[in-house]
Amino acid sequence: MSTVLASCYLVILFTGNQALSLILVGQVFLRVFKDRGIDNVVLTRSLEDSGTLAAPLVPWGAAGGVSSQLLGVPTVQYLPYMWLAFLVPMFSLLYGFTGFAVWRAAPEPAAVWPAVAAT
C-alpha cells in the first residue's frame, strides 16, 4: 500500500491532476491487488487516502489553486491546518505494515458449465 500512496503523490506532483492520479494508479495496481488476493476496497481506500487528500497541497493543481484563491492565501500558509492530509496516510501505512483492516478478496467461484444432456 505504500507504493500506491507514493505513486499517487508522484502523479499529483507531476501532473497536478487529482482524477488522473486516482484513475491511473488505480488501474496500474488493480491487477497487483487481485493477484495478491487483497480486496478492491483496500485499493480504493489507499487511493483516497493519498490522491484525494493530497490534491489541495499542490498549488499548480486545480484543487490547490481553488483552495488558495478561495482562502486568499498561498498554499504554504494553509498547509499547517491540513492535518488530516498528513494523518490519514500515516494510518494507511500503519494498516499496510500491520495487516490491520487489509481484507482478503472473496475467492472467485469456479465457472460452472451446465451439463449437456445427451438426446
Interval 82-99 mean pLDDT: 91
Interval 48-57 mean pLDDT: 92
pLDDT confidence bin for 114, thresholds 50/70/90: low
Do residues 92 and 45 lie in contact, with contact meaning Cβ atoms separated by under 8 Å?
Answer: yes
* Positive or negative: CA dihedral 40, 46, 52, 58: negative
pLDDT confidence bin for 112, thresholds 50/70/90: low
Q: pTM of the full predicted structure?
A: 0.82
Answer whether residue 107 shows pLDDT above 80: no
**pLDDT score of 108:** 72
* Cβ neighbours of residue 69 closer than 8 Å, sequence gap 6 or more: none
